[in-house]
Chains A and B, each alone.
Chain A
Amino acid sequence: SQKIEQNSEALNIQEGKTATLTCNYTNYSPAYLQWYRQDPGRGPVFLLLIRENEKEKRKERLKVTFDTTLKQSLFHITASQPADSATYLCALGRATGGGADGLTFGKGTHLIIQP
C-alpha cells in the first residue's frame, strides 16, 4: 500500500541555520507535491506546490526539491527563526485530482527553532 514518511521525531534547529525536512514515499506515483504548515490548534496552511516535472521551487526563505527517482522531497527553511517552529506536512497528489485519489498527507514533522 502507498506510504508517506516524514521524520516522526521533532527536529531541533538553532536559529539562523537551515532546517531541512524530508518526505519519502513508496508505492505512489504523484503528479505533484504540496507542503503545508500547521500550528497547534490551527488548520494547515498551504506553503508550496511542486510538480513532478519540476526539480526545485523557491519562495522567500523556503525551497522545495522533488526527486521522483529517489521518491523524495526535501523542504528547506533558510535563516530559520523561532517563528518558523511548527509542524510541516507534505501531501502528495495524483493527476486525477480530488477525493480519495487526491491529496494524501504525511503525519508531519514537528520543527523547533531554538533561539
Chain B
Amino acid sequence: GAGVSQSPSNKVTEKGKDVELRCDPISGHTALYWYRQSLGQGLEFLIYFQGNSAPDKSGLPSDRFSAERTGGSVSTLTIQRTQQEDSAVYLCASSPGTITGELFFGEGSRLTVL
C-alpha cells in the first residue's frame, strides 16, 4: 500500500478483555515501531523491530503487552487483560531503517477501555 495501515481505527473494550491491534507497514521498510499517545502527552515508545534482529521491548509498560512481527512485515500489538489506563492512541510507524530515517506513521488505533 501507499502508506502505513493500522486497524482497527477505533476499539472500545471492557476492562479485562484482550485486544489486538494490527499494523501493515510500507513495503520494504525494515524498521517498525509502536508508540502510545495519551491525551496531551507525547509519544511513548513501546517496541521496535529491525529486520531479523531481536525486537527492542524496553518500552513495554507491563507483561500484559506483547508484539510480534511476522515475516518481517505485518505486526500485531496485543494487550491482555486491558485496564482503563491502557486507553490511548496506539501509533505504528515504519522506516527504511537508516539511522536518521524519517518515520512514516499510520493513523493510529484509538483504544478505549471501559
Contacts and interface: CB of A to CB of B under 8 A. Distances in A.
Interface string B70-114: 000000000000000000000101000111101111111000000
A91 B103 CA distance: 11
Interface in A45-101: 45-46, 49, 51, 89, 93, 95-100
B108 A43 contact: yes
Most buried by B among A43, A95, A96, A103: A43
A102 interface: yes
Most buried by B among A96, A100, A108: A100
A108 B37 CA distance: 11
Interface string B30-61: 01010100001111010010100000101100
A108 B44 CA distance: 13
B19 interface: no
A99 B102 contact: no
Contacts of A97: 98-100
Contact of B56 (A42, A44, A100): A100
B10 to A, nearest CB: 10
B50 A99 contact: yes
A97 B99 CA distance: 5
Contacts of A49: 100, 102
Contact of B93 (A31, A41, A43, A99): A43
Contacts of A46: 102-104
Most buried by B among A34, A99, A100: A99
B12 to A, nearest CB: 16
Interface of B: 4, 31, 33, 35, 40-43, 45, 48, 50, 56, 58-59, 91, 93, 97-100, 102-108
5 contacts: A31-B100, A43-B4, A43-B106, A102-B45, A107-B41
